[in-house]
Amino acid sequence: MKITTIAARAYIALVLILLYAPIVFIAVFSFTEAKSLGNWTGFSFTLYRNLFTGSLQNSSGLISAVNNTLLIALAAALISTVLGTLAAVGIHNLRGRKRQTMTFLNNIPLINPDIITGVSLFLLFVFLHISQGYFTVILAHVTFCTPYVVLSVLPKLSQINPDIYAAALDLGATPGQAMRKILIPMLRPNMISGFILAFTMSLDDFAVTFFTRGTIGLDTLSTYIYTDARKGGLTPELKPLMTIIFLLVLVVLLVINIRQSRQTEKIQK
Amino acid sequence: MNKRSRWALPYFIFLVLFVALPLLLIVIYSFTDGAGHFSFANLTKFFSDGNSLSTFAVSIEVAIENTLLCILIGYPAAYILADKKLNPSAVTVVLFILPMWINALMRTLATAELFNMAGIPLGKGTLLFGMCYDYLPFMIYPIYNVLNKMDKSYAEAAQDLGATPGEVFRKVTLPLSLPGVWSGVMMVFMPTVSTFAISEFLTNNKIKLFGTIIQENINNSMWNYGAALSLIMLVIIGITTLFQGGKSEGEASGGVLI
Amino acid sequence: MPGKETIINIEGLSQFYGEKQVLHDINLYVRRGEFITLLGPSGCGKTTLLRLIAGFLQPTEGRILLDGKDISVLPPHKRPLNTVFQRYALFPHLDVYDNVAFGLKLAGVPEDEIQKRVKKMLKLVSMSDYESRNVDSLSGGQQQRVAIARALVNRPKVLLLDEPLSALDLKMRKDMQIELKEMHKKLGITFIYVTHDQEEALTLSDTIVVMNEGRIQQIGTPIDIYNEPVNAFVADFIGESNILKGRMMRDYRVAFIKHEFDCVDAGFGEDVTVDVVVRPEDIYFTNDPAKCQFKATVNSCTFKGVHYEMWVDTDTGYELMIQDYDPYPVGSEVMLYIDPDDIQVMKKERRANTYPAKVLGEGKVEFLDTEFSCDTSGFAEGEEVMATIRFEKVDLLDHEEEADLTGNVVFILYMGDHYHLTVKTETGENIWVDTNDIWDKGDFVGIKILPKDIKLSKPVAGNE
């Protein structure tokens, strides 16, 4: 092996070690009972047991935060996928000034930092006297999730041979049937990746939720961790929770990726 | 055919209501006082308030440093990842994206805890390194994307014309990968200026960033001043976007997925 | 004339895209069972016409009748026609069987009949072994077969084919041409075929419709079109031709390349300028001085597979293309003759550029949306006149400065000793130019007309 190759791989390994240090740190200390990170009081599964039996030291706050996070992400991703796919089909058929306007507006939530999205929507809800809660958080998440769906679906639309839709009509499909039987199935993979993207964005969000959740005590995982950390002590069960999430995502991603590379290999053969 | 352009209408209305109108409200709140009268007071307050100004300066400084650090560490990583000879497996790329699925606040807390354990006092240095942890994948992915899609024949053509490997990189690969770097900058710079929770955790509240004072003002019902501070951020975003111009097409923003 | 055997009748069809008119008053009828080809260069409106028939476009003016019923108002899914698309447009998420069965399923045909018909159709296009294959895994030719089966399985009254073979390589294209022709014979379905490939049109069609710039140029059998092109465009587009300026001396006698020839055309009048078309394979070499009509020197000779293509310079200074099975060495002097049968005389479409113009004042006139200087004596200010400019008096420049107006070269004819160009101005008007300079199709040119070359005349009532 050439020296450059060794150096390159060493560099990648080093960056990865730095990136993963905090995560490994969390994972390691999820197997001990101590409250604070970095304090090893002997190997134990207690935190995992607590997490699954629901007997948390602090409260049931963590469980409901996890539920809220999933619920909000699911709702936001579903709405975004429908809204974004419709919009992408519309934008694809727009030309000139109208198309530029739509693309510009669609890009704003992508470029805006979370805090601007959060503050601006907060002002909107205050201005319109809308009481804040689940509804406003989901609405806010749809705002910053939909552009990702649009960007996932739009490129596929321009790849589709425009005659495909015409061919369906030609063979006797009504416009509705052509949509259901031809366009939607062809767009499905992109809609799914848009959905996943939106779901992840929503899961990971902190700032927007923070400003739009109101004062009814609605917590997602992010806001829960934030309040928890500011109070001084993290709920220890967060550590096993994060470890489990990490392992789940790791397995899913690796499976998807290995499968993909096998498929491309097959096609190449 | 053209009837389907109407499908964009619901989203257009949505964007006007929940993107354009809220931004307009930031402007309106910035230029009014608590009673709703037109006023420049919020902006003059910012420019005469030493605390806010210095926070602003520190935020920009940290953001620039963090962005540079991310490019410095991220570009070589992206370059190696995109080179099939140096990195034959696509799984390595996934490993770089993976940390983004772990809650950012949780990761930050763990990072801060690691510094504590190692006996490193929390401050500017830890803030920079912590931020870099958080934002590095956002820099690597767009650069990797551009490099990976780049037609190899450009580099081969340059070699064929007598360029040394160093010259190939400086004169062909680097200029062609700049759009990726720009998307990376967009995804790192502004978020760094505007973070609030992360900076608090990483410096134990010693260093406040601009996001934090926006959040404090909004939470303390100082909506007009909070809006004015947001407006200043919006102006900076506008300037950076203009500066970036048509260099990249918002494409790389979908960089979180494989 | 349209009669009982007519299946499609197109009446006064015009199509606009915004301001731009892409079809001008198309009138055409298609006989039942016929293989008719719409032939023309890209942008001539042939695909637009096909899409109008299929229903993907709504006509701006005019009607399309199918079996006497107006179908131009029906959406495509209600028309009993099916289309084979240029890039196949197969549904990538369905396998071969489901692609072919798509139309039948929508029509609610019972499952067992669908199966029977799909299998039969796949057999017809020799794709029986591919039923459950993913369409993306098929070759271009195989995809095209599936696309044809998918359309034919619905038993359309008319099958529309939009350049279906253009994406295939030459060998495959030739094979598919034969198969299409056989399928057409076997099924008895009317085929309307669009192509820009004149050879394909000549091979396949019962009737060819030659189109250019949104207008039908000529309708006829392949043999008619090849042997008796009605104008220089058709002559140039179909096969190779020598197109030359000529003069009809009297009936059955025509002069061109400064020689006189016997011909079979009459009725043009005496001493009238005409266009003459001679196919390169119709100019013969001879060793018999008695047969020789003119002499020439061979200046190039290229082997083209079956025949040799030679360019000769005539003793009178014209260049002609000749195809022959035997080569003649470059530089050799040869004796040539043309059979009267092989000389195609065409009425000259135009003799000069004429435009309606308006006198703006002393020495100023406006036409083609441009102001020109010229002699206006004898005409009053504001008077409507005709401006005439001879083809060879129009100067083309490769820059905009000094030009009166600008345009693009859209059509080039080589006339033996000069080029006859059609230049489209920015306002969409045509200017015809005779020149010795070499331009390319699509070139952007400056157009200059000298004051002394603009001749004004009173408009003739009823003319123009």
pLDDT greater than 90 at residue A29:
no
H/E element holding A225? helix A221-231
pLDDT in tens, B79-133: 988 887 777 777 788 888 788 777 888 888 888 888 888 888 888 888 898 888 8
Judged by a CB distance cut-off of 8 A, whether residue A182 touches chain C is: yes
More confident residue, A257 or C44: C44
3-state SS string over C195-233? ECCHHHHHHHCCEEEEEECCEEEEEECHHHHHHCCCCHH
- The pLDDT, as a whole number, for residue C339 is 94
pLDDT greater than 70 at residue B154:
yes
Q: How many domains does chain A have?
A: 1
Judged by a CB distance cut-off of 8 A, whether residue C393 touches chain A is: no
The answer to the question of residue A23 being in a domain is no
The answer to the question of residue A264 being in a domain is no
Judged by a CB distance cut-off of 8 A, whether residue A177 touches chain C is: yes
Which domains occur in chain B, in start order?
A: 41-254 (1.10.3720.10)
Residue C108 in tokens:
């609610």
Q: What angle do CA A21, A22, A28 make, to 5 degrees?
A: 85
Which candidate in A120, A179, A200, A227 is best for mutational testing of the B interface (most B CBs within 10 A)? A120
Of all residues in chain C, the percent with pLDDT exceeding 70 is 98
What sign for the dihedral angle of Cα A212, A215, A221, A227? positive
Beta strands C370-373 and C364-367 are antiparallel
What does the mean pLDDT of chain B come to?
Answer: 83
Q: How far is CA B217 from CA B211, B227, B237, C415, in A?
A: 10, 9, 21, 83
Which domains occur in chain C, in start order?
A: 6-232 (3.40.50.300), 241-347 (2.40.50.100), 353-457 (2.40.50.140)
Judged by a CB distance cut-off of 8 A, whether residue B149 touches chain A is: no
Asked if residue B68 lies in contact with residue B136, where contact means CB atoms within 8 angstroms, the answer is: no
DSSP state of A183: I
The answer to the question of residue A18 being in a domain is no
pLDDT greater than 70 at residue A269:
no
pLDDT greater than 50 at residue C248:
yes
Chain C from 238 to 297: CB within 8 A of any A CB: none
The CATH number given to whatever domain includes residue A115 is 1.10.3720.10
Instruction: Provide the shortest C-alpha distance from residue A53 to chain B (in Å).
Output: 22
Range(s) of the domain holding residue A88: 58-235
Q: Which chains touch C (3 or more CB pairs under 8 A)?
A: A
DSSP state of A93: T
Strand partners, C370: C367
pLDDT greater than 50 at residue B213:
yes
Asked if residue A121 lies in contact with residue A213, where contact means CB atoms within 8 angstroms, the answer is: no
Q: Could C87 and A186 be called an inter-chain contact, meaning their C-beta atoms sit closer than 8 Å?
A: no
- The pLDDT, as a whole number, for residue C52 is 93
- The pLDDT, as a whole number, for residue B51 is 82
Q: Which residues of B74-104 are buried (b: 16+ CB within 10 A; e: fewer)?
A: bbbbbbbbbeeebbeebebbbbbbbbbbbbb
- The pLDDT, as a whole number, for residue A266 is 61
The answer to the question of residue A5 being in a domain is no
Q: How far apart are the first and last CA of chain A?
A: 27
Mean pLDDT of the region B166-191? 86
Sequence length of chain A is: 269
- The pLDDT, as a whole number, for residue B134 is 85
Residue A171 in tokens:
């063979």
pLDDT in tens, A213-236: 888 888 898 898 888 888 777 778
Judged by a CB distance cut-off of 8 A, whether residue C114 touches chain A is: no
The answer to the question of residue A182 being in a domain is yes
Asked if residue C245 lies in contact with residue C272, where contact means CB atoms within 8 angstroms, the answer is: no
Using CA atoms of C402, C407, C411, C417 in order, give the dihedral in degrees to the nearest 10.
Answer: -10
The answer to the question of residue A73 being in a domain is yes
Split at pLDDT 50, 70, 90, the class of C2 is: low
Highest mean pLDDT among A27-31, A40-44, A84-88, B109-113: A84-88
The answer to the question of residue A176 being in a domain is yes
Chain A contact set for C76 (CB, 8 A): 166, 169-170
Of all residues in chain B, the percent with pLDDT exceeding 90 is 17
Split at pLDDT 50, 70, 90, the class of A59 is: low
Split at pLDDT 50, 70, 90, the class of A26 is: confident
What does the mean pLDDT of chain A come to?
Answer: 86
Which amino acid appears at position A202 of this protein? S
Phi/psi at C347 (nearest 5 deg)?
A: -60, 140
Chain A contact set for B226 (CB, 8 A): 119
Q: Which residues of B51-73 are buried (b: 16+ CB within 10 A; e: fewer)?
A: ebeebbebbbebbebbbebbbeb
Split at pLDDT 50, 70, 90, the class of C464 is: very low
CB neighbourhood size of A82 (10 A) = 16
Q: Could B113 and A222 be called an inter-chain contact, meaning their C-beta atoms sit closer than 8 Å?
A: no
Residue B247 in tokens:
């260099």
- The whole-angstrom separation of Cα C386 and Cα B243 is 57
pLDDT greater than 50 at residue C151:
yes
Q: Which chains touch A (3 or more CB pairs under 8 A)?
A: B, C
H/E element holding C300? strand C294-303
pLDDT greater than 60 at residue B255:
no
Which candidate in A170, A180, A267 is best for mutational testing of the C interface (most C CBs within 10 A)? A170
Split at pLDDT 50, 70, 90, the class of B254 is: very low
Beta strands C333-338 and C81-84 are unpaired
pLDDT greater than 60 at residue C1:
no
- The pLDDT, as a whole number, for residue B250 is 41
- The pLDDT, as a whole number, for residue B258 is 32
Residue C380: left if φ>0, alpha if ψ -120 to 50, beta else—which one?
beta
Of A16, A124, A250, the CB nearest to B22: A124
The answer to the question of residue A37 being in a domain is no
Strand partners, C31: C6
Predicted model pTM: 0.77
Q: Could A164 and C91 be called an inter-chain contact, meaning their C-beta atoms sit closer than 8 Å?
A: yes
pLDDT in tens, C393-437: 998 988 888 888 899 998 888 888 889 999 988 888 889 999 988
pLDDT-wise least confident of A65-79, B204-218, C5-19, C54-68: B204-218
Residue A130: left if φ>0, alpha if ψ -120 to 50, beta else—which one?
beta
ipTM of this predicted structure:
0.85
- The pLDDT, as a whole number, for residue A58 is 55
Mean pLDDT of the region B162-190? 85
Q: Could A256 and B86 be called an inter-chain contact, meaning their C-beta atoms sit closer than 8 Å?
A: no
